[in-house]
Structure 1
Amino acid sequence: MADRIETSAEIAEDHAMPRAHEVHTNPDQPCIETAANTLPRQPVSQKSPAQWAYERLILYIQNFEKTLDEEHEVAMGFAGSDIGVIRIEGMGYFEPDIITFYGQDQMGMRTQLVQHVSQLGVMLRALPKQPDAADPNRIGFRLAEDLNKD
């Protein structure tokens, strides 16, 4: 294979592009590397740790939601804690290093978790949709739309 000569623009663009890779036993499983190309084009070096974590979490949530049926919604549990599961209703960040999750716990109580990016460990889970909802909530797709509003 011959070496490829890159222009300075290609090198800069390559540096700005996120890199991700996954392999699954099910070849039809959506992969995050395809979704990574939908992130706003901004060099990683210009993003705060909070913004960078926020954007990648959106991709993981959205990718997880693609695997759910119409009876389930995404929720998250937090690694290393016993706080339970939060049905995700919102997510945000506060630069330079805070991620915030909004939702409801298993008892239906309003919940907000504020977490430093260095402590981030999230497990995505499928929960049955709210009994009174006609359609499941798809927060990942709303979050992704917000990223691309510029």
Structure 2
Amino acid sequence: MSKSKAAAVATPPVFVPDWGDKPCPKPVLPAASAAQTAALMDGVRMRENPAEWAFVRLSKLIEDFEKGLDKDEEIGARIVGLPGDGTMSIEDLGFWGPDFIMFLGKNADGKPVRLIQHYQQINVLLDVRKKPEEREARRIGFQLSEMVAKTNPK
């Protein structure tokens, strides 16, 4: 292989900076206490994969949002571009690097939906909705945190 081809293969694309061991930047939330900020950052390291990096931070924000819900409430989302009222119940979150974030859940009619967004296009308004009477409220934040921990760089 020529020297120029070897350099091209070894060089990451421009959109994937080499963060190495760089710590996560602190979130800036005006009303957050130092303890809340520390909880959001707990165990989070920056990722080279932009979709994974967005997933990690979304997971932490969802977990933090769920802490304020009562036993009869669960997380939902209002997402620009969804049909109808643009709301969905979020049941899971995933990513497919380097660029897709996936929201999985149900629409207002209870039908399955999967929203696939480019990590640079994410605009999600987390909202609260009453859980169905027949079951306990779901919490996905801790499951997402487990996934983040499994993919956390050492």
Normalised to the residue count of structure 1, the TM-score between the two structures is: 0.76
Indicate yes or no: 2:132 matched with 1:143.
Answer: no
* Cα displacement (A) at 1:82: 4.9
1:6-45 alignment runs, 5 A limit? 15-24=22-31, 31=36, 33-41=37-45, 44=46
SS across alignment from 2:150 = coil
* Cα displacement (A) at 1:23: 1.9
Is the CA contact 1:48–1:95 (under 8 Å) kept in the aligned structure 2?
yes
What's the RMSD between the two structures over aligned residues? 2.1
State the Cα deviation string for residues 41-80 of structure 1 (Å, max 9, x = none). Answer: 3xx3x421101110110011111100000010001111x4
SS across alignment from 1:145 = helix
Q: Aligned letter for 1:113?
A: L
1:78-117 alignment runs, 5 A limit? 78=79, 80-83=80-83, 84-117=86-119
Normalised to the residue count of structure 2, the TM-score between the two structures is: 0.75
Q: Aligned letter for 1:121?
A: N
Tell me the residue number matched to 1:62: 63
Q: Aligned letter for 1:22?
A: L
Tell me the residue number matched to 2:13: none
Q: Aligned letter for 1:21?
A: V
Is the CA contact 2:24–2:44 (under 8 Å) kept in the aligned structure 1?
no
What are structure 2's unaligned runs of at least 5 residues? 1-19
Q: Aligned letter for 2:139?
A: R
SS across alignment from 1:17 = coil
d(CA) in 1 for partners of 2:53 and 2:150?
A: 17
Indicate yes or no: 2:129 matched with 1:127.
Answer: yes
Count of aligned residue pairs for this structure pair? 129
Is the CA contact 2:40–2:61 (under 8 Å) kept in the aligned structure 1?
no
d(CA) in 1 for partners of 2:42 and 2:96?
A: 22
State the Cα deviation string for residues 20-55 of structure 1 (Å, max 9, x = none). Answer: 12122xx78x84x223322443xx3x4211011101
